[in-house]
Amino acid sequence: MPDNNSDKVLIAGGSGLIGRHLAKALTNDGYKVRILTRNPGRQSPYPVFYWDIDKMQMDESALAGVDIVINLAGEPIADKRWTTTLKKKILDSRVHSTALLHDAISQRPTRPKAFIAASGIGFYGQNTKQTPYLESDPPGDDFLGKTCVAWENASHKMEALGFRTVILRTGVVLSREGGALPKMTMTRKLGFVNALGSGKQYFPWIHIDDMVGIYRFAIKNPIEGIFNAVAPALTTQNEFINMVAEHLKRTIRLPNVPAFLIKILMGEMAVLVLEGSPVSSEKIIKAGYEFKYPYLSSGLGSGS
Question: Which amino acid belongs to residue 105?
Answer: I
Is residue 185 in some structural domain?
no
pLDDT of the residue at 127: 63
Q: What is the tally of structural domains in the chain?
A: 1
The per-residue pLDDT for 300 is 72
116 in a domain, yes or no? Answer: yes
Quote the pTM value: 0.92
pLDDT in tens, the chain (304 residues): 344 467 999 999 988 899 999 999 999 999 999 999 988 777 789 999 999 999 999 999 999 999 999 999 999 888 888 999 999 999 999 999 999 999 999 999 899 999 999 999 999 987 666 789 999 999 999 999 999 999 999 999 999 999 999 999 999 998 877 555 555 655 666 666 777 788 888 889 999 999 999 999 999 999 999 999 999 999 898 888 888 777 766 667 777 887 888 788 788 888 877 788 899 999 999 999 999 999 987 767 665 5
Q: Is residue 184 part of a domain?
A: no
Angle of CA points 122, 16, 111, to nearest 5°: 85
Residue 269 belongs to some domain of the structure: no
**pLDDT score at 192:** 66
Inside any domain, residue 265: no
218 is in which domain, residue-wise?
Answer: 8-173+205-231+279-294
Q: Rounded CA gap, 33 and 24, in Å?
A: 9
Q: Is residue 63 part of a domain?
A: yes
Q: For residue 245, is it within any domain?
A: no
**d(C-alpha 254, C-alpha 50), whole Å:** 47
Query: What is the distance between the alpha carbons of residues 38 and 35, in angstroms, rounded to a whole number?
Result: 10
Decide if 242 is inside a domain.
no
> pLDDT at position 1, please?
37
With H, G, I as helix, E, B as strand and everything else as coil, classify residue 154: helix
DSSP 169-215: EE-EEEETTEEHHHHHTGGGGGTEE--BTTS-SB--EEEHHHHHHHH
Residue 172 CA neighbour count, 13 Å, CB half: 25
CATH number at residue 17: 3.40.50.720
In this structure, what DSSP letter does residue 71 have? Answer: E
